[in-house]
Every structure is written in C-alpha cells, then in structure tokens.
Structure 1
C-alpha cells in the first residue's frame, strides 16, 4: 500500500508539473503571439499620428490626418490581426507554398506559376497611375514598418519555422488577382465540358446535363433600354466553333483536379436594395451577404477608415487597402458575383517551331520558374506562353496535340481595379459611383447602390469579352486566330438600373439581363431559387425595416425542396419506412432549419438523386437540379442505362438515403449532420493541430436557400456560406448592422479568434462601425 501511495503521489506530482508546463506554455505562446493594441508604437514612414481603436469585439476604427497615413494605418491593423493569413495569401498568389509546406504543395505552385498571376500583379503595379500607386505604396510601407518593429508573430510562423519577408507592391495586388481568379471560374466549366467530350458524350447530351438558365426565371434588370434595342456592332458571322474531343480523359481529369484545389468563390451571394417608398425608415435600405468559402480566419476584416478626404465603413480584405463592401457618409453598396465569362481556353495547333496562328508559325515565349521545396530539391518549371496566354495543359504534361492556352482578362498587363474600390469609397452620388466602377476590370460584379437622397441603383462593371457568333465560351475553341475576342462590351451596354419602378433591386448571381439584351455575358448563371425567394419575401409586405432584412438574410426555406415535391408525390416507396418519410416530407414546410429532421432526410435523398448520371459523367455526384428534375419527370438515358425508370431510381434513392443516415448515426437534426466548417487551410493538414485551429458550428439551409449552406455531398459538411452580412439604413446609421463568422483576429490564441461565430450562427448582428473603443493604439512617426 505504501508503494501505491508513493506511486500515486508521484503521478499526481507529474500531472501537476505537466499542468504547470502546459499552462505556462500556453501563456508564453499567448503573450508572444499577440500584437500590441494599446499605448504608442513608433513607425517610420508616417507624416502624422494615426489612431487605431478597437472595441470589445475587436472591430477596428483607423483615424488619420491624410489618406497616405490612413492606408498605412490600415495595413498595420491588418498585419496585427491577420499577418499569417496575409502571408499565406501572398504565397498562394506567388506560387510559393512549397517553400514552407513541402512537396505536397508543389502541384498548386506549378499551376499558379504557370498562370503567372504574380507576374501579372507586378505588371499591374508598374502600369498604375501615380495616385493609385501611392495607395499601394502606403499600404506596403505600413506592413513593412510594422514588421520592422520585430512584432510578435502568429503561432503558424513558429510551427512552420520561418519569418515573413518584407512586402512588395506585387504582394498587395496579387490577392486582388487571386480574388478575380476565385470569381472568374468559367474556364473550369470549359474544362469540365472538355472532359465530358473525352468520355464520349455528345455536345447535345452535355447541354442536357448542364441546362441553361430558365427563360421564365427572374433577371436583375427587367427591361432592355430603348437605346440598346438597336443591334450592336454585329459579331462576324460564322458556324459553331469546333471542339475536337481530347485524346483520353485522364489528363483533363488531372488538370481539373488541380484547378479545384484552389479556393472557389462561385457558390453564391445575395444583395438587394429597396427604395424609400418600400422602407419603414423613409430612406433606402440595402443588404448584402457574399457567400464564399468558409475559412479560419474569416476572409474579411471589418473596419471603419476615417481621414478628412476618405471615410468608409465595411468589410475589408486583409492584404488589400480600402473598403470593399460597405458605406460612407452618403452612399452604401453591396456586391455579388456577376460571373461574367472573362476566360477562354484555346486549343493550339502545334507544329515544329511553335504553333500555327493566323496562317503563320508563332514561337512560344518561354518563361522559366524555380519552385523551392521545403525538405526537398527545387523543381524547375518551363512555362510556354502563347498569344492567348499560358499553356495550362503543361501543368499535367498533356499529350502532344492537346495544348490548351488560357486567355483571361486579369492576366493583361494593365489593371486599375483598385481605382474602382477606392473611388466608390469616396463617391457621394450615383454619377461618381458609376464613374469609379467603370475602372473595374475583373471580376465583373453586381453592385447595388443606395444614397441618402433616396436613390437606388445597380451596375455590373467589368472588362467582358465580345465573342464571334458560334463561340459560346462553353467549350475550348481552336487557337488559330479565327475565334479571337472581337473586343469588349462597351460601358453603355453593361447591365444597369436606376430607380426602377418596382422600387427594389435583387441580385443573387441570377441572370443579369433580359433575353433581348444585345450582348451575352455568360451562360453560367446561378439557379434562380435564391433570387425567387428574396423577391417573394420582399414583396410579401408593403414596407420593410432592418429587422425584416435580418429575417430575410437568415431565411432557410428551400425552393429546391419545394421544386422536388411533385417528384416526391409521385414516388412509390419501396419500404414502410420510406412511405412514412414520404408522408412527413410532403407535410413539411421546406424550412431547412438546423433543428429540422426533414431537412436531413430530404438532403440525403437529393444527394442520392445526384448520383443518377455518375457512370456517364465519371463523378459520384451531379448537382444539377434542373437536369435532375427533368430526368425524374420525363425520363432520361441515365435511368435507361440502369435498367429502370427514373421514378424507380428516385424510390430506391430514398431507401439508400435512409440507410446512409443510419450508417452516420440515424436521422439527426440537419445542423448536426451539416455543420458549417471553418478550416484553417494549412493546419488542417496537421491532424494533431487541426482541432486547435479549425472550428465548426451547426447550420441550416442548402446551396439554394437565402441563408446559403452549400455542402460536400460526400460528408454533408458545409464548406461555403455567408462570409459577411451587412444591412445599411441610409440616413440612419444607428440602424445599420454587420457580422462575419469566426472573429476579427487570425491569431488562434486571441479572444477574438472565434468570438463572433456564435452570433453569426444564430443570425445575430452588431452595430455597423462598432461600439465604444476599449483599446487605443497611437502610431507615431
């Protein structure tokens, strides 16, 4: 017994020592990774003191005597709270992840080096006018001045064993380019169609599997202006552009897989605005919730920036100056993706000495890149450049005769998109707002607008190619010069509206213009469900207030579930249990709350329905609801290939869905099955650290609900959603609100790392602009 007591005391002592070491280590790391947020900090490069104020939730207010110092101070605040995120972002854009992450990041680096995004950012900076270059310089200098103070570094730097290098202007602009990449993903759809051709599918079958936007679905602009009804400069006549099927699908599969490793922002976004006649405040109300990939930390940082000549409040991108979405003293704006097609793939006719273009042989321009690899040998890369752009098929060593070059407006050497976001932050009226937006190159976005005078408006700016008749932009086309872009949509023909008679404007990535608009912007519009639901809610009452907008932003009624109700009604269940759930689903109101059991069963059934053409398309799930609805209601070759009717397939799918749920623990509430997951990105690949950095929370909705909850069919985990919510009451700043998931800080040991997540998850909001400051840091020259 005495020995046991001694052992017990020894183990208790060891446990106490371990606890002391753990607690001590925790507080050591906490104290050595958190930035200074109060007092004074001397920084070289300022002309006058700058105040950085933070409230109890970490919301930031930067006050400066001039714009140079303002954007310098914004950079310091960004670096204090998001230095690792900014480091990771610039390494993505530069194709330099393998330097710190090792061999696993080489394929992504190869792809981005081939694209030449960083090179395009360098060229863009060189071509900026002096006033824009001054903004980028001020922001870059602010980051470097902060780094020169030898500040505490976030934990990721310690774990990966390196320190950040000084920043360059291209490091700033490259994230603008990467956001353009995220939101301009048409070339992936071209690759997908090209891959389906390689599998032997006809273009007619591919179009059936990827149906277009319904003719009777809502458009953002409801009528074509008289001045645009006249024919534009007509595209040159021609037949349909030929697209020879590729030799084998393996390399196309591989290239598409590499492209899909990069972030994608094409899932969804909502914004809308109502005029004073529809508002309880007597002034316009504006709402926006951009839906992007969920991440830890958040993609946004919320800020108020104030100087004598610039005062804007809203969502900012760490790594970039200015406010992206928000308001100033006179106007407010919201942004969703227009998804205009600004990318094309060209099949090059390769010959000895280069490729054939306009009847002559053109040599490739060769660019050589060296990718440093942590723990490994450098990788040498030879990039071939054509008149269209880089040959991206070289990333996966495509066979001879299969060279695909990417044309993309964001790779052009001149890009003043920065001027658009800077200008709208200073705009005081519709004319100034639209004039600023015409500087935007890519990605083309849907901007809704409101001002204190009671006006509302909409504009979708961007440099959008005009294609020859027969070139839809859906498939790769021959790169012989015959199918080159003919020019770009003129400013006067961009989608726009100003004080429409309806008294409101809604955008949800749906089609922007009516069918008689003289220019085609894309064929890849989002499904109309969210736009239809928002309009349904906006028109359900004569006037709306900020609380109504909150309710609409958090609405989880699924028009997808409603659309599949007729299929469900016709379904003949295969089991008693399926019959019971059919009855429950038909009685269900299609409200996919986190507590809903019916939502879990419906979405599991829909996921099984999405397996219908898997043998044909070579993918386990095919999330094309318009195709699936037509197939289930009218029949389809995919059902014939299975030797059954499509309704028999639907009945079997319900039993498979219930069996799958049983394997996952039974029919549980949708939020439990479908958590919103915030992955760190880097530490997610370190299993022992994943739970420390990642976060998740129960969430409702689906890909097509207003409160969007897109998920992975294989896991039901939600990976895209509302990355920011804002509601602006023009003329009533006290009734303006904002929220974003996770928190303001990217430092995992900060109290603001994930303190906003519970608020976001339950649909709560904070006052826009923040509350009384609790910390004041003065930057001094």
Structure 2
C-alpha cells in the first residue's frame, strides 16, 4: 500500500515533466486501483451467497436470499465503485475534510461542526426502529467487510496518502442530513432580509424585491383537491415590528450552500394513450464527477426495487417496485428559523429567566497544523451560528431546524416506500418522514395516481411568517408539527394529472402555511402546457418533455425587448434577430447567448441596493421594467427601458462583433471535488460538453452568470410506464464508477447529453459481469 501510494505521487511529479509520462503512469496504476467485478469474493458477515450482475453500462443487479444480505451487498457494491465519493461525503458531514486536505477546508469544517450534522446523524441512528437499524448495520457491515480484504483503493486515497477508516452507522445517516441542508435554504433568506432591514429597507421594498408567488401561477394542488376551510388572514403588523432587531445584524454575511430544484409529474389513465399511468422525474442537482446517483436493482424476499440510490445510503431513493412507482422534487418548505437571543450571565433570557448555555466542544484536526478547538454554544432552539456567518459581535443567533431534531426516521420511510404495494402502504411509509420535504408523486399498476408532501412542518404562531429572525424569548416558539392528515396530498385528482416543479404547493383554501417562498412557475407552466396540448400522452411524449428547452423566461421578457429603443446599430440588428427567434435555447444557436447575456446585465439592476446581482428574480425585473423602478435612475439612465437598452449594449460589448453559439460558452461541467484543483489530473477527472437550456427550461441548465458555465442540471432522469413497467427508462450523467481510470467513469455522459436512456428492467439479461459474494468462514 505504501509503495503504491509513493508511486501514485511519483506520477504527479512525472506529470509535471510531461503529459506523456503522466498518462503512462496513470494507466500503469489502472490495474492496481480498479476493483474486480467478476469471480467469487468471500466476505465475513454475509449469511448466504449473493449474485451481483452488471450490465455493459454498469447498472447493478443484486439478487440475495435474505434482506440482510441485499443491503450488505449494496454496501459492498457502493464501496467497490464509489469508495472515494463515500469517503469524501462522510468527511464533509462530519466536518473532517481538513484532516486530509489541510487548512483549505477549515472554514467549511468549522461551519459543519457548529451546526452539528454528525451529532444529529448519531441521534438519528438511535431513533430508528430495530428493523431500521438492522438495515443500516447490514449496509455498514458490507462496506467494512469489503475494506477488510484490503482491496485496491481509488487513486484519490493514494494521492492524499491515507486509508479509509471502518465505517460507522452515523457515516451513513450524515449524508442524508447534508442533502436535507442542500435542499433547505430558508435560513439564508432570513439573514438576507435582516441585512436589508439593517440598511433601512422597508418591508414594502423587500416584498417588491422578493415578490410573492403570482396568484395566477400554477400550484401543485388545485382548489378542488382541498376540503379545508379558508385560511386566516396573516398578521402583517407583527412582521413589521420585528424590523427593530435589524440593527444587531452584521453588514457582511457568508451564506454557504445553495438550494437545488427538480421536475416530476404523473399522468393518470384518462390522459394516457395506454390507459395506464406514466410517471416522470428528473431531480436537478449540482453537476460533478462522479455522479450523485447510482443505478441499482435490489432483490430479496422482503425488498424488491429498481431505481436510483445515493452511494453511502442503503435505499432506492427514486424508482419503482412491481406494484408502485414514485418520484420526488423539493418542496422548499420553511423548516428553519433563526432566533435572536438576549445574553445574560452564563446564558440567555428565556420566558423571564436565565437559561444556561450548553457548551459543545469540537476538535478539528488540520493536516500539517495544530488542532483547532471550537466551543459551540447550544440553546433550546439549536446551535448559535454567529461565528460561521461572520457575525461574531452581534447578539447570539440560534438555528432551529427540523433536521437537527433528536429523532429522524426518514431512511425508514424510503425503505417502506420500496416495499409498498398500494397508496395506503405508501402513505404509511411516508408517516415516518422528516426531511428534506419532498413532493412525492405516486402511481400504481391498478391505475391510481397520487401526491403527498411529507415533512415535519412547523406550526408557527400568528404573525410569525418565517421570513425573518424573531426574538428567542419563548414568545415565538413553534407550536408543534402538522399531523400527516393535514399534509398537502391528493389521490386520483379530478384533473387527471399532477405536476410539481418546486412551484407553490398549496391552493387557495389550504389552511396552513408550508412556505412563503417558491421557485418561479415557468417550469410548472411549461409542463402543464405540454400535457394539455394533447388528449393522450405516450412514453415518447414524456421523453420529449424531459428534453424540452423552450424558455418561458424569453417569452416573459420579449415585450421588454419590443419596447426598448436600441442605442447602437448592432443593438438594432440584434433586437430584430431576438424578436424573430422562437425562444428555444439550442446549444448551436447564437440568439440564446445574446439573450442570456442581456438578461444577466439586466439583473444587475438592484446591485447597489442589495449588494449583489439578482440573477434569480425575473418577476422583480419585469415589474421594474413596467413601473420604472427607482433603481433604474443611474448616471446613464432615467427610465427602466433606457436601462434595458444600455444592458443590451453592454451584453453585445462582452462578445464583440461575433457572439459565440450558446453551447460554446454554456457547457455542462462535471468537476471532481478534489482533483479539479490539480491541473494535470483535471484533464482526466473533469468533463464538460455543450448544453442547451437555461435555469427555467424543463431540461434545466442553470449556470454561473460570470462564466455561463452550467453548474446544475438533470442529475437523474426516470420515466415509468405502468402499461409495462419493464419498458420504463432511467439514466444519470457521467457513469456508474467513480474510479478515474474505469471505462464506466463517463460511460453514460454522451448518452445523457443526447437525450438517451437505459432500460429500467428488473428482468434484465444483458450482463457484462457477474460476481458471487460468499460467506467467509
């Protein structure tokens, strides 16, 4: 092991001397770093032989004789193909990256240790039922059994000079906590609003900058789906009174993380050409190498499912069994609140008394440097996060978040879903769900469709909108959680289909506030347009919808283009071209480049006021163009249409006389989290290719406005056909293996980019590799 580690580092030295030497060295290491997928493998802890088959594309099929063994085998397979990814993920969740990467990741480790993700994962494991713990234990045993045979390690371990430790149950559950964090962003928005208030911004201006969801935009549930009485009117005055707290907020905030998005929809029998449901799902997450997902079919006496799993977690997260299928998108539920505490000697004031701090000590080991010791204050609400949001001198700011609750059986919910045979069993499984809140669409072989949004939805007192921090004095505490019967849900809706795209869930008449912040409605509107454009829909229609790149953002901003007076001859020509364009964001066309650059320039409008461009607030920009927002009055412009005309000129100046095709600058980029920082290895680890679409197209393609590099897209695509479930389709980008030198590292990337799919078959017979796991004596 030490020799191979030395040789791997030697390859880097050789790479510095010349590309050819580096390539030879890498391929010399290939045989020493790739796992074997054939033959027999004896492992301690296995109860009976298990067969593992892989298709030519690397899709894994596991056939086991016991439930314990099927999860044990999944642990083995995940470790074979994604061991470095799993190691990286558990170190992120535990705040232990600095041990192997040094000071570069210290701030991130501080943040994660302060929040207490790993501690929450340890508590979640203890809160599982004996059956749930048995699944986690079997999966961990599989990983550790594989590590115990001293397999060839991925190149990353050798380059960084360390070996993986044995796995623990919390290593499994901590990545679920991290996904919940990625998909829950309300705390950042609360801080942003408080920062604005500190600058003297009025509630009315905040509402204009972050406008509420449009009243005429589509919601997931329709009014006809509800049986509840109308909701009470909100108390807006209480929110205004909280602005007096703003003077205690720092002027600079560091807000790590980002919230992703997704599409799913389900078509009922009346709208399907086959008379059976169709279900589509494509979660939009950050692109990277390797893929977030791993395709698997698992079969045992008590568990039979096919779909997509997360390496590091023992479950099919999105997929189907022989009876039902499901898909998920992020609800965007508000399950986080920030509380401003009043300090007192030894603690903080709560309900007229002094409550002592609970001090948690965290020790961060840093490669090549002394340890860093954190003393983290814990309140009844949760950790005090001042030090990790650049707020050391202000009053304590405590985080209340459902994912830090001591009980969390979300993993068991996913295990139960895969075993469900009907809507009742599906609902029963979801009753255990905590976070992150997801829009679950459902269909079954009998022709039923349904929807449920499970989560621990906080019940807040009137006047507490959840949009800004509130005093932590006991007067604004949560009043409990909504019971399952009051979660958003519908079964066989009258409309005959269900659409979710991170748009508003609840319709008028729903009595509870799930959230006040939703994604723009463009994707939901486009899905509904395409569904309603035909009387009957087919599997091929579902494929076309997932590949759709028509931009409703362009459609919304077209009237602005029509109204502006160009400032230059070049701008006049481009105005004519853009108005003749159909708004389809094709990679090979130049019009998308000019339009997106113009929109990027336009979105700088409130930058001085809020401290950053507003890439993601098109409704504010549209309202500004119509109503002459005060921000448009600059030294160069007086009206918003003048500002828009100047923005078009600036957009054209960026490209000169020959703007490039959209796909030339808008490239889907799959970067390795560590090796991308090593110039030589980046050539082998990273991938990029031209891609159409934009943030609001169904085939989502969010980009960094500074570079137009595509950073978020369809991380997995699934289409289920309940007329014949074996005709179902799935795919993810990159490939099944995380090993840099494996043929499966990027095997699926071109197929994904071209809109292709793999067959999603339990009865698959096209196998390229077979491996038998056997109990070791």
TM-score interval, normalised by the smaller of the two chains: over 0.9
CA distance in 2, matches of 1:399, 1:172: 33
CA distance in 1, matches of 2:157, 2:203: 49
CA distance in 2, matches of 1:728, 1:150: 40
Question: What residue number does 2:640 align with?
Answer: 646
Question: What residue number does 2:192 align with?
Answer: 192
Question: What residue number does 1:534 align with?
Answer: 527
Could you report, residue by residue, the CA deviation over 1:320-350 in whole angstroms, capped at 9, with x for unpaired residues?
0010000100101000001110000111111
CA distance in 2, matches of 1:230, 1:588: 44
Question: What residue number does 2:164 align with?
Answer: 164
The aligned runs of 1:398-477 (5 Å cut-off) are: 398-477=391-470
Question: What residue number does 2:30 align with?
Answer: 30
Deviation at 1:604, TM superposition (A): 0.4
Deviation at 1:247, TM superposition (A): 4.6
Q: Cα distance 1:674–1:359, how it changes in 2: closer, same or farther (>3 A)? A: same
CA distance in 2, matches of 1:191, 1:776: 53
Deviation at 1:773, TM superposition (A): 0.8
Deviation at 1:245, TM superposition (A): 4.9
User: What SS class does the counterpart of residue 486 from structure 1 fall into?
Assistant: coil
Deviation at 1:620, TM superposition (A): 3.7
User: What SS class does the counterpart of residue 333 from structure 1 fall into?
Assistant: strand
Deviation at 1:771, TM superposition (A): 5.5
CA distance in 2, matches of 1:408, 1:558: 35
Question: What residue number does 1:138 align with?
Answer: 138
User: What SS class does the counterpart of residue 705 from structure 1 fall into?
Assistant: coil
Output the TM-score relative to the length of structure 2: 0.95
CA distance in 2, matches of 1:505, 1:559: 20
CA distance in 1, matches of 2:612, 2:765: 49
State the superposition RMSD in angstroms: 2.0
The aligned runs of 1:285-304 (5 Å cut-off) are: 285-304=278-297
CA contact (8 A) 2:120 2:405 kept: yes
Question: What residue number does 2:659 align with?
Answer: 667
Query: Is structure 2 residue 307 aligned with structure 1 residue 307?
Result: no
CA distance in 1, matches of 2:457, 2:404: 14
Deviation at 1:361, TM superposition (A): 0.8
The aligned runs of 1:250-261 (5 Å cut-off) are: 251=250, 253-256=252-255, 259-260=256-257
CA distance in 1, matches of 2:77, 2:699: 30
Could you report, residue by residue, the CA deviation over 1:266-301 in whole angstroms, capped at 9, with x for unpaired residues?
232000010112112221110000000111101000
CA distance in 2, matches of 1:231, 1:647: 40
Query: Is structure 2 residue 652 aligned with structure 1 residue 658?
Result: yes
Question: What residue number does 1:608 align with?
Answer: 601
CA distance in 1, matches of 2:100, 2:199: 38
Query: Is structure 2 residue 524 aligned with structure 1 residue 525?
Result: no
CA distance in 2, matches of 1:313, 1:19: 42
Query: Is structure 2 residue 376 aligned with structure 1 residue 383?
Result: yes
CA distance in 2, matches of 1:624, 1:532: 17
CA contact (8 A) 2:225 2:493 kept: no
Deviation at 1:195, TM superposition (A): 2.1
- Residue in structure 2 matching 1:590, options 583, 591, 597: 583
- Residue in structure 1 matching 2:707, options 712, 715, 718: 715
Question: What residue number does 2:93 align with?
Answer: 93
User: What SS class does the counterpart of residue 490 from structure 2 fall into?
Assistant: strand
Deviation at 1:231, TM superposition (A): 6.5
Could you report, residue by residue, the CA deviation over 1:87-120 in whole angstroms, capped at 9, with x for unpaired residues?
0000000000100111010000000000001001
Question: What residue number does 2:474 align with?
Answer: 481
User: What SS class does the counterpart of residue 242 from structure 2 fall into?
Assistant: coil
Question: What residue number does 1:121 align with?
Answer: 121
Moved more, 485-494 or 604-613: 485-494
Deviation at 1:398, TM superposition (A): 2.4
CA distance in 2, matches of 1:142, 1:591: 48
User: What SS class does the counterpart of residue 758 from structure 1 fall into?
Assistant: helix
Give structure 1 stretches of 5+ with no counterpart: 1-13
Query: Is structure 2 residue 315 aligned with structure 1 residue 316?
Result: no
Moved more, 551-560 or 346-355: 346-355
CA distance in 2, matches of 1:440, 1:179: 14
Query: Is structure 2 residue 769 aligned with structure 1 residue 775?
Result: yes
CA distance in 1, matches of 2:715, 2:508: 32
CA distance in 2, matches of 1:621, 1:693: 33
The aligned runs of 1:234-273 (5 Å cut-off) are: 239-240=238-239, 242-247=242-247, 251=250, 253-256=252-255, 259-260=256-257, 264=258, 266-273=259-266
Q: Cα distance 1:69–1:604, how it changes in 2: closer, same or farther (>3 A)? A: same
Deviation at 1:515, TM superposition (A): 2.4
Question: What residue number does 1:206 align with?
Answer: 206
CA contact (8 A) 1:237 1:468 kept: no
CA distance in 2, matches of 1:468, 1:391: 23
CA contact (8 A) 1:187 1:344 kept: yes
Deviation at 1:400, TM superposition (A): 3.7
User: What SS class does the counterpart of residue 703 from structure 2 fall into?
Assistant: coil
User: What SS class does the counterpart of residue 314 from structure 1 fall into?
Assistant: strand
Deviation at 1:690, TM superposition (A): 2.1
User: What SS class does the counterpart of residue 648 from structure 1 fall into?
Assistant: helix
CA contact (8 A) 1:75 1:139 kept: yes
CA contact (8 A) 2:114 2:385 kept: yes
User: What SS class does the counterpart of residue 311 from structure 1 fall into?
Assistant: strand
Query: Is structure 2 residue 672 aligned with structure 1 residue 680?
Result: yes
Q: Cα distance 1:139–1:355, how it changes in 2: closer, same or farther (>3 A)? A: same
CA contact (8 A) 2:27 2:741 kept: no
Output the TM-score relative to the length of structure 1: 0.94
CA contact (8 A) 1:247 1:402 kept: no
CA distance in 2, matches of 1:604, 1:190: 30
Question: What residue number does 1:766 align with?
Answer: 758
CA contact (8 A) 1:559 1:705 kept: yes
CA contact (8 A) 1:286 1:450 kept: yes
CA distance in 1, matches of 2:388, 2:713: 31
Deviation at 1:227, TM superposition (A): 4.1
Deviation at 1:254, TM superposition (A): 3.6
Give structure 2 stretches of 5+ with no counterpart: 1-13
CA distance in 2, matches of 1:177, 1:630: 38
